[in-house]
Amino acid sequence: MQALLIAFVVVSTACNHTDTMRYRDPSLPVEERVEDLLRRMTLEEKVGQMNQFVGLEHIRFNSASMTEDELYRNTASGFYPGYSLADIEQMIRDGRVGSFLHVLTMEEANHLQELSLASRLGIPCLIGIDAIHGNAKCLDNTVYPTHIGLACSFDTAMARTIARQTAREMRAMNMHWTFDPNIEVARDPRWGRVGETFGEDPLLVSLMGAETTRGLQEENVLACAKHFVGGSMSLNGTNGAPADMSERTLRQLFFPPFKANIEAGAATLMPSHNELNGTPCHSNSRLLTDILRDEWGFRGFVVSDWMDIEHIYDLHHTAADNRDAYRQAILAGVDVHMHGPEWNEAVCGLVREGAIPESRIDESVRRILAAKFRLGLFEHPYSTPAERDSVCFCPEHRATALEAARNSIVLLRNDGLLPLQKGQYRRILVTGINADDENIMGDWSEPQRPDNVWTVLRGLRERMPDVTFDFVDQGWDPCHMSPERVREAARAAQQADLNIVVAGEYMMRWRWNERTGGEDTDRSSIDLVGLQNDLIEQVLASGRPTILVLVTGRPLGVTRWAERVNALVQAWEPGQMGGLAIADILTGEVNPSAKLAVTIPRHAGQLPMYYNHMPSMYFHPYAAGESSEPLFPFGYGLSYSTFLYERMAVDTTHWRKDGTIDVSCTVTNTTGPFGVEIVQLYIRDCVCSETRPVKELRGFRRLPLATAETELVTFTLTRDDLSFLGPDMQPRFEPGDFVLMIGSSSRDRDLLKQQVTLR
């Protein structure tokens, strides 16, 4: 018997040596490597691949600074009560964690990778991070303008460039997956996340988002299209609140960006926090399977948002407990759980009980493993300090951040004060909560080295070295401004030749409870917070010329000041080079070119307000003298040049054989310096079997023009551009009359129009 046992051990050992671990061979097709690895995995290891944890340093910090009660409602920080760091590290070595988020250093990323590779099968982990406008949560990385500002440039090529540079910095930090782009269509400025979107128009959001996805994945970082779907138009404007909308609204406005990003190759997708028409998005099989996979052909993996699977139980109350919520989410189509240890044992138990087929688990694990193989993590699991230091915040990336910021700043009002002439002003007052604060970087940023951030004050001093700047600090917190500092600014304004007030909101995540804008910071008003209105009023009382600069992630209803200040500049969240960019705009070093990617209402009482509304929306005007017009319309923005639109022409005789027609006009820079005009094309279907919006964006072009230069701009339209969704929710073209419009904004008086009949 002992001899037989020895023989069995020898044979077994020999067999193990002949098992060549084919999944480790990079020359094999990914699909073959996936299947070889999958067959070796235990159920526990498979379920572990579907689970994501926050990083060890994040756990260490928050377990020491948060209570368990605070943990329940927090949507940015977490730890795992009852689990020590040693417990978590052992789970990683046991192959029970597949990915991480909130890892902010290369050293920690490498350490987590080392722990993962020590597991039985040596499967590397994915490091995900919220690199929303650059890898801005990590020290010494480049912070670009947030998406809403970038969208105002209407520059899809720049979106792709920024995404590629962000991905390079991420990979240099050993990070492989960003929870971006946010391609929700922003329809309510009360919602705190407007700043991380590309605005209110589905075409613009689709194009900017798709180029972002392409740029990220060209540099070997997984993009994540989010949030699917409806969270940007909740019933009360707050993040995660219910959304109720028709199939037509979904398919016309909210689905197109997601479909476009899937066509662009998005590797991952994240459902929305909210319930849609009564069903939580995280357990919505119609969204995550019927539409996403069966209709659109998505082949990547779906990751939950922060604890949103658990919210199926404790918030939406459509599950009996967390186990039931896990079952619902997996069967609906979720592949990765964000985040926490309860998942592992619960899901393994559900499979063993037959509540979830193991074949469904295998589907998810195949998708996750395929991503890891394609990223090259098995062959190149680590990054080096030399790689990080040569790539992150390099001169090329800083130059891109500056150019992007310059092109994102919208000039909304100018009575002739701007551009500031050299030597015209000897003493300038600069004040306001955002005059000299890192808040200029915007939401989803962590502190950077002061030398790497150009605030407005710093930018002005560098660009205008011959001017004396008086700075009256108003603090960073708009909710707790000092009346005495406001009065101090008023006194200083009387001694200045020019006043610059830098107002807006506070978005910095390291002071989570003091923020007035950003994720989970929604408002019932869109007015300036605190004593900011008092500050502007008292500065204006000096009688000196005054510029108001807004640093904010959402449109603000500054109706009170729009006609009273000499110049109004919407700077959005321009990133760490933003102060230089703002100074370049004010001094005329750069001619402003940006146009609004979102309508700016006068106040919250006008909401909802967007340019592509239905004809009946303002049939009855507001009573008591209230305007139905926005403060500033979509597509609007001033320049130091004047652009003349003329000679609009449409080939209306017939569709070409390829099913297209051309629409054109000439644009001339009649006065002013070299400038870039963003030419916009809109259409309206005059008579249709379904109600259509008053106008819809169908094209745009950034047009550089020297002084007195004229250029012919031509757009090509297809039948698809003039189609709509019929009662069956399928696209159809109805012959008839259409109004085609070309101009400088969506405002009627800014558009050339021509009605044509198309058959």
CB neighbours of residue 655 within 10 Å:
15
CB 638 within 8 A of CB 414: yes
Paired strand residues for 632: 600
Sequence-distant (6+) residues with CB within 8 A of 678 are 154, 593, 594, 595, 635, 637, 700, 701, 702, 703, 744
Does 658 share its domain with 558? no
At 208, which helix (H) or strand (E)?
helix 202-218
- 409 lies in some domain: yes
Does 610 share its domain with 505? yes
pLDDT, residue 1, reads: 41
Does 410 share its domain with 458? yes
Tell whether the torsion through CA atoms of 302, 264, 194 and 137 is positive or negative: positive
Sequence-distant (6+) residues with CB within 8 A of 20 are none
- 282 lies in some domain: no
Paired strand residues for 336: 303
* Rounded Cα distance, 742 and 721, in Å: 15
CB neighbours of residue 712 within 10 Å:
10
- 362 lies in some domain: no
Find the CATH number of the domain harbouring 663: 2.60.40.10
Question: pLDDT tens-digit profile of 210-261?
Answer: 999 999 999 999 999 999 999 999 999 999 999 999 999 999 999 999 999 9
Does 578 share its domain with 659? no
Does 434 share its domain with 573? yes
Does 592 share its domain with 664? no
Does 474 share its domain with 575? yes
Least confident of 12-16, 482-486, 724-728: 12-16
Tell whether the torsion through CA atoms of 253, 257, 260 and 262 is positive or negative: negative
Asked if the model's pLDDT at residue 6 lies above 70, the reply is no
pLDDT, residue 356, reads: 98
pLDDT, residue 655, reads: 87
* Rounded Cα distance, 63 and 67, in Å: 8
- 716 lies in some domain: yes
Asked if the model's pLDDT at residue 360 lies above 80, the reply is yes
- 333 lies in some domain: no
- 286 lies in some domain: no
Does 424 share its domain with 522? yes
Paired strand residues for 736: 758
Does 696 share its domain with 604? no
Distance of CA 63 to the CA centre of its chain: 29
Asked if the model's pLDDT at residue 649 lies above 90, the reply is yes
Domain with 696 in it? 642-758
**Percentage of residues of the chain with pLDDT beyond 90:** 93
Asked if the model's pLDDT at residue 402 lies above 50, the reply is yes
- 167 lies in some domain: no
* Rounded Cα distance, 49 and 97, in Å: 6
pLDDT, residue 336, reads: 98
Does 466 share its domain with 587? yes
Asked if the model's pLDDT at residue 11 lies above 90, the reply is no
pLDDT, residue 539, reads: 98
Find the CATH number of the domain harbouring 435: 3.40.50.1700
Does 528 share its domain with 606? yes
- 490 lies in some domain: yes
Question: pLDDT tens-digit profile of 62-107?
Answer: 999 888 888 877 888 999 999 999 999 999 999 999 999 999 999 9
Question: pLDDT tens-digit profile of 107-151?
Answer: 999 999 999 999 999 999 999 999 999 999 999 999 999 999 999
Confidence of residue 35 (pLDDT cuts 50, 70, 90): very high
pLDDT, residue 283, reads: 98
CB 612 within 8 A of CB 442: no
- In the set 130, 155, 180, 305, the catalytic residue is 305
Question: pLDDT tens-digit profile of 531-569?
Answer: 999 999 999 999 999 999 999 999 999 999 999 999 999
Asked if the model's pLDDT at residue 8 lies above 50, the reply is no
Asked if the model's pLDDT at residue 700 lies above 70, the reply is yes
Does 482 share its domain with 536? yes
* Rounded Cα distance, 58 and 446, in Å: 13
Confidence of residue 5 (pLDDT cuts 50, 70, 90): very low
Based on the residue annotation, tell me whether 305 is a catalytic residue of this protein: yes
* Rounded Cα distance, 216 and 166, in Å: 7
Asked if the model's pLDDT at residue 9 lies above 70, the reply is no
> In the chain, how many domains are there?
2
- Strands of the sheet containing 126-129, edge to edge, are 177-178, 126-129, 99-101, 51-54, 337-338
